[in-house]
Chain A
């Protein structure tokens, strides 16, 4: 079975600083997909970034980037120039082709003014 581990239940960062959220996963598959979702206080689930396992290049979306280490089964999210609106719960997710999504337990991020 696939598992996704987020070892940091809570984190905080000063506004405009950079923060990295950790995620590890366990799988025997070689082809899969990884995602980071953001859940702000409104509780809407919003996709932040996605990564295909077959791509070596790390995905980037504006201030959000990932460090994907396939051999280490690690998928961390870096948020640069943190903004107050980044305050949210962040979930890491894993998906095999055609299969269900496996979510981590989440990291609650607070951006401090």
Chain B
């Protein structure tokens, strides 16, 4: 158990809909990262938050947004969903400098 909790584990929704993925980082970790992994693909970095502030942004679509709350949990909002958004979405957290990223189990999103 990495200590990072992602909910829900599975999500099936229709095109055009909006969903929210939730992540609770390891206790004490200030950094949260979101990644997208399509089938048989690598990890696409979406966005990083550090202690509530956006730290880095990757290839995140304008239809996607995220935030980190004062209790350090984070949410990734995906709107106007398309079939191509079907993927495994990972949240990871890290703490002290140089610490590895601890990954959640991922949320498997299927857009039908």
Which residues of A line the B interface, CB within 8 A?
A: 33, 35, 37, 43-47, 50, 52, 91, 93, 95, 97-106
Contacts and interface: CB of A to CB of B under 8 A. Distances in A.
Interface string B88-112: 1010100001101111011000000
- Chain A contact surface mostly: strand
6 contacts: A37-B103, A97-B97, A97-B98, A100-B48, A100-B55, A100-B56
B103 A99 contact: no
Interface string B43-79: 1010010100001101000000000000000000000
Contact of A103 (B43, B55, B100, B102): B43
- Which residue, of A44, A98, A101, has the highest number of chain B Cβ atoms within 10 A? A101
Given A43-B37, A101-B45, A106-B42, 18 more contacts: A33-B98, A37-B103, A43-B106, A47-B100, A47-B101, A47-B102, A50-B100, A52-B98, A97-B97, A98-B50, A98-B55, A99-B56, A100-B33, A100-B55, A100-B58, A103-B43, A103-B45, A105-B42
A98 B45 contact: no
Contacts, number: 50
Contacts of A47: 100-102
Given A100-B55, A104-B42, A105-B42, A45 B100 contact: no
Contacts of A95: 98, 101
Nearest 6 Cβ contacts at the A-B interface: A45-B103, A105-B42, A100-B56, A103-B43, A33-B98, A100-B48
Contacts of A45: 90, 92, 101, 103
